[in-house]
Structure 1
Amino acid sequence: MKILVTPTSLQPDKNSKALERLKKFSDNLTFNNTGRPLTEEELIPLLKDCDGYIAGLDNITKKVIESCPRLKVISRYGTGTDRVDLKAASEHHIAVTNTPGANAEAVGELAFGLALSIARKIPSLSVRTSKGEWARSTGMELAGKTIGIIGLGAIGRVVARCAQGFSMKVISYDPFMDASYASEHGIEVRSFEELLSQAEIITLHLPLTDQTRHMINSETIQLMKDNVILINASRGGIIDETAACEGLKTGKIGGLGLDAFEKEPPVDSPLLAFDNVVATPHTGAHTKEAAENMAVLAVENLISVLTDQTCPYIVN
């Protein structure tokens, strides 16, 4: 069987445990050597005669899927499937799998790190100190503040644990809220509007869907407290970046932490001109531990589908 492997973190010299397992299954592996996600035009010639596909953040369109008559499984290295045309995959009887929870610790820790960095102005103070300045700047303590977690899945739960370690009050909104988990772990449940109006720090942990796209917009930003810190380590399209830029200008948003952008990389983004914006290159899942966890699970998902075994992580 021929397998295409495109995640930039899953290369022949990395994640040896996962690749050893994959090589035992197939000796016909093709890798992505561009160092970035592949476009539609790049994917088609690589994928057209493959049986399986371990996918990074490539654009897996209907045209790509229709060009691959042998393909049986798209095994996402990660949780999100917003770059996969799930309808087309289903119509062509291609299973799509993902790796939920495998990178939760890594992404959750980064999200909380962004909040702490903004609250204490760590990046900007580091730059000024490196330039020889000895700046005096007043930050904000997190202890006693309220953090609002939108999306209490595996990643949101990591953020909640981190916040409680800093003696923060944790409130959460999730359209599929597990109320028993929240109650057991001291997390107070709120409506979406209540959370926006009560939290000093708001962090987003949702997939990008038609329902969540631009859920943070000019109207919902106005419901927030003044000088709110807003964190997005999920998908860029959840925040309307034009509205966020205006919120930064007016001071409604006191700080913005972004590990995801509507356009990646965010070339010429006006958001990057603000010194209270901390930006990282969609790196939440990029830890040694998370990379290994995702790689192992992505490989196991692919093999399970191709050998007609039960796979619990099929999303379509």
Structure 2
Amino acid sequence: MVRGRRALMGVILATSRSFSDGDIDFVARAAAAGHEIVRGPAHHDLGELAPLLANADAWIAGTGPVTAAHLDAGPRLKIVARYGVGTEAVDLDAAAARGIPVTNTPGANANAVADHAVGLMLAALRLIPDGDRRVRQGDWSVRRGRELGAATVGIVGFGRIGQGVAGRLTGFGPRILAADPFLDAGRVRDLGAEPTGLDELFRTADLITLHAPGGQRLIDAQRLAGIRPGAVIVNTARPDLVDESALAAALRDGRVSGYAADTLDGDTAASSSALLADDLADRVIVTPHLGAQTTQAVDNMGSMSLDDALAVLAGRTPAHPVKGSS
């Protein structure tokens, strides 16, 4: 019986760094369902992944690319379960052509990212990281910040995370604007914000927080030319939303007073970003893509991605299919 059980055991390849790194042991959960978890590199280098994909029945994929070549290297793959929300790195057409469903984990990290966005707002408005650096150098001089409650906050993208940010801001009392082409004005008002267009938001808001999907450029030289002078920008979404060189120029000439982000162009390879220049260190705050890295979010993403993988391996329909995938 042991021999037969092993023969039926499926292999689930997991390439997210934080998979099963929270309070829930998903390796044990998979084993209880008769499957083995095999770990792979988060960068998804095809040379390293190909031998692992060759034996994989399911793939819990991190943020690295999932290309047609990756899928061809996994002839047994029955599902790609994206560990997270964004699927821009996944070739959905290639997956559909091969009959491989793609899932994601909508809402799993919304609370964590909303918390982090508000934290970055406060850090930027009150100059907290710069104050810490100066004290450690023996400089106790004071730089004057601004109060969140006195600001007009513009939320770009009013989905789960944007709405979570708005809910958290109510206790501070700022005016809240929201721009989202997919929500009607009445719904935005019901959710606690004033509906507005994107250009008007940039002209009006003292603080702009980005929660839109990637694959588009929302902040470039033209939009920065019309921004409210001295605005602060927070980005916990995607790096490609921002022209980093244009933003660096706007920080230097004072059109933008601060930028706080959880991501940069290239992420872990971002040492060449214009925003990391030494002369901008007092105006730029960057965290290492940790907005979704809470124990609760990690457990949520792990549960949703593994449950979808197990469902497909058992012949059932996954709960979180991505539109446009098989």
What is the TM-score when the length of structure 2 is the normalising length? Answer: 0.91
Aligned length: 310
User: Please, which of 226, 246, 265 is the counterpart of residue 229 of structure 2?
Assistant: 226
Report how far residue 19 of structure 1 moved. 3.0
Match of 1:238 in 2: 241
SS in 1 for 2:84: coil
Match of 1:9 in 2: 18
Amino acid at match of 1:21: R
Percent sequence identity is: 35
SS in 2 for 1:57: coil
CA distance in structure 2 between the partners assigned to 1:239 and 1:26 by the alignment: 45
Report how far residue 276 of structure 1 moved. 0.6
Match of 1:290 in 2: 297
SS in 1 for 2:50: helix
Q: How does 1:103-142 map to 2 (within 5 A)?
A: 103-142=109-148
Q: How does 1:137-152 map to 2 (within 5 A)?
A: 137-152=143-158
Match of 2:259 in 1: 256
SS in 2 for 1:84: coil
CA distance in structure 2 between the partners assigned to 1:306 and 1:21 by the alignment: 14
User: Please, which of 190, 205, 213 is the counterpart of residue 207 of structure 1?
Assistant: 213
Report how far residue 17 of structure 1 moved. 4.0
Conserved 8 A contact 1:173-1:190: yes
Match of 1:67 in 2: 73
Match of 1:86 in 2: 92
SS in 2 for 1:165: coil
Amino acid at match of 1:296: S
Conserved 8 A contact 1:201-1:228: yes
Against the structure 1 CA distance between its residues 179 and 25, is the aligned structure 2 distance closer, same or farther, given a 3 Å change threshold?
Answer: farther
Match of 1:57 in 2: 63
Match of 1:24 in 2: 32
Superposed CA RMSD: 1.6
CA distance in structure 2 between the partners assigned to 1:143 and 1:204 by the alignment: 19
Residue segments in structure 2 that go unaligned for 5+ positions in a row = 1-9
Match of 2:52 in 1: 46
Report how far residue 221 of structure 1 moved. 1.4
Deviation per CA, 1:56-115: give whole Å up to 9, x if none: 112211211122221111101110111111111111111110001110011111111111
User: Please, which of 198, 221, 225 is the counterpart of residue 192 of structure 1?
Assistant: 198
CA distance in structure 1 between the partners assigned to 2:308 and 2:185 by the alignment: 30
Bigger Rg, structure 1 or 2 = 2
Match of 1:155 in 2: 161
SS in 2 for 1:267: helix
2:224 maps to 1:216: no
Match of 1:268 in 2: 272
Conserved 8 A contact 2:126-2:146: yes
Report how far residue 152 of structure 1 moved. 0.6
Report how far residue 306 of structure 1 moved. 2.2
Conserved 8 A contact 1:17-1:296: no
Against the structure 1 CA distance between its residues 121 and 173, is the aligned structure 2 distance closer, same or farther, given a 3 Å change threshold?
Answer: same
Deviation per CA, 1:19-43: give whole Å up to 9, x if none: 33222123422113x5x43323222
CA distance in structure 2 between the partners assigned to 1:17 and 1:49 by the alignment: 23
Conserved 8 A contact 2:167-2:192: no
Conserved 8 A contact 1:106-1:285: yes
CA distance in structure 2 between the partners assigned to 1:53 and 1:280 by the alignment: 28
Conserved 8 A contact 1:233-1:284: yes
CA distance in structure 2 between the partners assigned to 1:305 and 1:147 by the alignment: 43
